Amino acid sequence: MQFSNKTIWITGATSGIGKAVALEISKFNARLILSGRNKLALMEVADTCKKNGSSVLTVPFDLGDEQSVAAAVSEVADQKIDCLYHFGGISQRSFVQDTPLSVDRRIFEVNFFGTVALTKAVLPLMIKNGGGHMAVTSSIVGKFGFPYRSAYSASKHALHGFFESLRAENKKNNIRVSILIPGRIKTNISMHALNNQGQPHGKMDEGQDKGMTSEQAAKIICRKLVREKKEILVGGVDLILVYIRRYIPCLYYFLSSKIKPL
Ligand SMILES: NC(=O)c1ccc[n+]([C@@H]2O[C@H](COP(=O)([O-])OP(=O)(O)OC[C@H]3O[C@@H](n4cnc5c(N)ncnc54)[C@H](OP(=O)(O)O)[C@@H]3O)[C@@H](O)[C@H]2O)c1
């Protein structure tokens, strides 16, 4: 699946990995639909994408608000959407025992239910048009638990269950699904992560700061999206934890109890 002349809806396009992927794809003469809540940031990304040669429609909406998701879909329902790439999401920095259920729910509303609502609204449109490619952004902590990330990790695990089921149900409808599994990528995710008050953590974590750049990540992601890989791991040495969890679980149990939370 080449990007050229395809209509590609990208959420989380105002910042970090989603923005870098939008900018990378815009070099291939695509028709982009870009989303996020921050309208100013969205316009800036759109301007650069247009300079790179792609057409752009900006559709700002809040993944945590079902009505906002529905309104966004109605804005683009007349388009033939070839690809839906989900990057919108929010992380967490708080211990289980300090985190009120309202914060757990907020993280699920954005990362899981918002993503699912958008997917369910776009799926029939894609099926009607003969199929399409969906990509959802999980995380390495969608493959194992991690301190200070309980609801975030759980929301990403949930995405695996949902999207693997969607893929299995819809092979006959020519719906292809890629699950992106980033390790640490240097973005503002830790700044926007929710603390135990449901407020932004507001700090660039040391580990985050040492991560792969979003531009490098976007190049790797785009190469693998073109090939419609079912799982796309992207990151640095931290990816080794995925293999340790799978093949040497005892070592993972030991290491995960020693990991510095930030
Ligand atoms: N960076 C990493 O190390 C890492 C690792 C694993 C997975 N990920 C995943 O990668 C994806 C992108 O994260 P990032 O690192 O690029 O972080 P980021 O720079 O904070 O970007 C997050 C994006 O999600 C959007 N977003 C957040 N809440 C939203 C809401 N309620 N409604 C609509 N859009 C919302 C933001 O846009 P607005 O603020 O404009 O709404 C922004 O465009 C996320 O799903 C994240 O979980 C990141």
Q: Which residues pair with 8 in a beta bridge?
A: 32, 83
Q: Is the pTM of this model over 0.85?
A: yes
For 206-228, how does the pLDDT look when each residue is reduced to its tens digit (9 = 90+)? Answer: 888 999 999 999 999 999 999 99
For 49-88, how does the pLDDT look when each residue is reduced to its tens digit (9 = 90+)? Answer: 999 999 999 999 999 999 999 999 999 999 999 999 999 9
Q: What is the band of 6 on the pLDDT scale with cuts at 50, 70, 90?
A: very high
pLDDT at 1 over 90: no
Q: Which pLDDT score, from 0 to 100, does residue 200 have? A: 97
Going from N- to C-terminal start, the domains of the chain cover: 7-258
Q: Where are the alpha helices (DSSP H) in the chain?
A: 16-25, 39-51, 66-76, 101-108, 115-128, 150-170, 189-192, 206-209, 214-226, 240-247, 249-258
Q: Which pLDDT score, from 0 to 100, does residue 259 have? A: 86
Q: Which pLDDT score, from 0 to 100, does residue 207 have? A: 86
For 98-139, how does the pLDDT look when each residue is reduced to its tens digit (9 = 90+)? Answer: 999 999 999 999 999 999 999 999 999 999 999 999 999 999
From 9, 11, 15, give the residue whose CB has the most ligand 1 atoms within 8 Å, as the site to mutate. Answer: 15
* Three-state SS letters, 58-103: ECCCCCCCHHHHHHHHHHHCCCCCCEEEECCCCCECECHHHCCHHH
Residue 95 structure tokens: 């211990």
Beta-strand pair 55-58/83-86 = unpaired
Q: Which pLDDT score, from 0 to 100, does residue 3 have? A: 97
Say how many Å lie between the first and final Cα of the chain, rounded: 38
Residues with CB under 6 A from ligand 1: 12-18, 36-38, 41, 62-64, 87-91, 110, 137, 139, 182, 184-185, 187-189, 192, 208, 211
Query: Closest ligand 1 atom, CA of 91?
Result: 47
- Ligand 1, atom 1: nearest CA belongs to which residue? 185
Share of the chain above pLDDT 70, in %: 100
Q: What is the mean pLDDT of residues 176-180?
A: 98
pLDDT at 153 over 90: yes
Question: What's the Rg (C-alpha) of the chain?
Answer: 18
**CATH number attached to the domain at 7-258:** 3.40.50.720
pLDDT at 261 over 80: no
How far apart CA 27 and CA 79 sit, in angstroms, is 21
Q: Which pLDDT score, from 0 to 100, does residue 101 have? A: 98
Average pLDDT score, the chain: 97
Residue 152 known to be catalytic: yes
How far apart CA 68 and CA 62 sit, in angstroms, is 6
Q: Is 64 in contact with 114 (CB distance < 8 Å)? A: yes
What CA–CA distances, in Å, run from 46 to 13, 30, 208?
9, 12, 26
Residue 12 structure tokens: 């989380």
How far apart CA 255 and CA 36 sit, in angstroms, is 36
Q: What is the band of 156 on the pLDDT scale with cuts at 50, 70, 90?
A: very high
How far apart CA 241 and CA 149 sit, in angstroms, is 16
- Please classify residue 25 by burial: count the beta carbons closer than 10 Å to its beta carbon, then call 0-12 exposed, 13-18 middle and 19+ buried: buried
